Amino acid sequence: MNQTLFSSVSKKHCQILIVGAGPAGMSAAKAAAESGQKVIMIDDNPVPGGQIWRDGANVTLPPLAVKYRQHLAALSNVEILSGSKIIAPGGSQSVIYENMSGCGEIYYQSLIICSGAREILLPFPGWTLPGVIGAGGLQAMIKGGLQLQNQRIVIAGSGPLLLAVATSVNQAGGNIAGLFEQTSWRALFSFAFTLWHWPTKFYQALTSFNSAYRANSYVLEALGDKQIEAVRIQQGTTEKIIPCDRLACGFGLEPNTDLGQLLGCRLESRALAVDERQQSSVENIYAAGECSGIGGGELSLVEGAIAGYSATQQYQRAEELIKQRQKWQHFANKIIQTFPLRDELKTLARPDTLICRCEDVPFSMLEPHTNWRQAKLNSRCGMGACQGKICATAAYHLLGWQTPPPRIPLSPVRVQSLTNEEK
């Protein structure tokens, strides 16, 4: 059906198609390529790396990232399609992609989905003011070259990403005006005492520690007229107002499961469900990295390798990695236990707080309804450019509403791609 909807001018064939070129995708490609089979790895960024290894003007890539990139670039059986996004499933065992040159279709025997995760943005009064941004989003802009000299930055939310972003802000010349973690000191200390199980993480925690870090603290409101000017923070039992030029918020990550769902893969805990071999509920489809559960770069790497080996029937190689995966899964579980979002964060939105930024839908228009579909039909929430990626996830956290199944196209596409007209 989708073949008639999208004009597919170029056709490509491979044995293993990998969607996403972050740590999971690169590791899957490297492992799958060892079988000698033809691999295509596609990613919408200009160069491989995903989120954690995102390249840019302000980036010195870690040696491991450089090693993966060079290794893959040198393999004759791996084709890397950068700057290209998968926009829909095709016919049987194919997907449709779009890039600067147009639209195409890739036929595969096995598919490995490594589509990563996106930030959770929770609405609070003032969250749509210019200057308020996702913490990972600010980090991506810094990596792309943004300079922050003489700017006061407040970072708030939850999880280890906050510390990584603080390091990036310092490197870009910004002043950290506050660094607020919503979880308790108690939870943090008990997490810190387990870190010796993962020495590299222990070292990372020590080297990224920031003296501005405060636990048991969370954002209440962003203040300002045309632009953020200050942020109101709850710190323990007291409230504070902190002047700032930017507020970067990170409330955790949401797995990117849309493509898998459209291909019939089952979800478990909001991620693509996988078995020991990283195989999804659909026989020739595998999933690895954060689309199959949030767990960090190390877990993504090992899951990617297991998926790559399994999809190419190198089962012995896959099994050798199971213990390593357990180790990093254990770390991921600790993170989840340490940083659950507190209920107060889910009650910050006021009646006039926008929930859907694309269609300007305030919280008061959602409240009379009992589920996402009803609210959408009556208010247009989730009908804008992001198609609910932000607001439907927020509604899940705020109201407990099930997120609707994804629809094609997976992201905005050019009209030409929809019209079946070749250039």
Ligand X SMILES: Cc1cc2nc3c(=O)[nH]c(=O)nc-3n(C[C@H](O)[C@H](O)[C@H](O)COP(=O)(O)OP(=O)(O)OC[C@H]3O[C@@H](n4cnc5c(N)ncnc54)[C@H](O)[C@@H]3O)c2cc1C
Which spans of this chain sit near ligand X (rule: CB under 6 A)? 19-25, 42-45, 50-52, 85-86, 114-119, 136, 139-140, 161, 164, 253, 256, 259, 289-290, 296-297, 300, 410
The SS3 call for residue 61 is coil
Q: How far is the CB of 85 from ligand X (least distance, A)?
A: 4
Q: How far is the CB of 411 from ligand X (least distance, A)?
A: 7
20 or 388: CB nearest ligand X: 20
27 or 234: CB nearest ligand X: 27
CB-based contact 303:278 (threshold 8 Å): yes
Q: How far is CA 361 from CA 121, 378, 387, in A?
A: 15, 10, 13
What is d(CA 261, CA 238) in angstroms, rounded to the nearest whole number?
44
Q: How far is the CB of 361 from ligand X (least distance, A)?
A: 24
Note the residue count of the chain: 423
For residue 247, give both structure tokens: 């507020």
Q: How far is the CB of 269 from ligand X (least distance, A)?
A: 16
The angle at the Cα of 58, spanning 52 to 62, to the nearest 5 degrees, equals 45
8 or 300: CB nearest ligand X: 300
- C-alpha 49: how far from its chain's center? 13
19 or 366: CB nearest ligand X: 19
Q: How far is the CB of 300 from ligand X (least distance, A)?
A: 4
What is d(CA 289, CA 295) in angstroms, rounded to the nearest whole number?
7
20 or 362: CB nearest ligand X: 20
CB atoms closer than 10 angstroms to residue 80: 21
Q: How far is the CB of 370 from ligand X (least distance, A)?
A: 30
Q: How far is the CB of 298 from ligand X (least distance, A)?
A: 8
149 or 200: CB nearest ligand X: 200
168 or 379: CB nearest ligand X: 168
Strands 253-255 and 117-119: antiparallel
CB-based contact 51:164 (threshold 8 Å): no
CB-based contact 171:163 (threshold 8 Å): no
What is d(CA 308, CA 65) in angstroms, rounded to the nearest whole number?
18
